[in-house]
């Protein structure tokens, strides 16, 4: 899954949504492993419901492209 729930600078990071859900389930008494699993699945459901199949694929494609560019920039600096 891509890094961004909404591609672009104004978007919410998928990892931020996942972390919030994770904290909620940890407070409820779930183990770290189970809370992480639930958080990833729930954040994924939120993403797909919000954007749908077509737009979701576009966002993931754009996020992967952005991540690839960032990683290539880091390699050039070294």
Residue closest to 39 by CA, chosen among 49, 30, 48: 30
Q: Is the pTM of this model over 0.75?
A: no
Boundaries of every domain in the chain: 14-77
Integer Cα distance of 41 and 72 in angstroms: 30
| 44 close to 1: Cβ distance less than 8 angstroms | yes
| 39 close to 25: Cβ distance less than 8 angstroms | yes
- What average pLDDT does the segment 36-45 reach? 94
Give 44-76 as a 3 state SS string: HHHHHHHHHHHHHHHHHHHHHHHHHHHHHHHHH
Instruction: Determine the pLDDT at residue 59.
Output: 86
């Amino acid at each position: 899954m891509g890094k961004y729930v909404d591609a672009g600078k104004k978007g919410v990071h998928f990892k931020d949504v996942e972390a919030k859900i994770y904290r909620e389930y940890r407070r409820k008494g779930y183990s770290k492993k189970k809370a992480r699993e639930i958080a990833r699945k729930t954040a994924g459901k939120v993403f797909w419901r919000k954007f749908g199949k077509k737009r979701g694929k576009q966002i993931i494609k754009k996020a992967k492209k952005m991540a690839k560019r960032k990683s290539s920039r880091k390699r050039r600096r070294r």
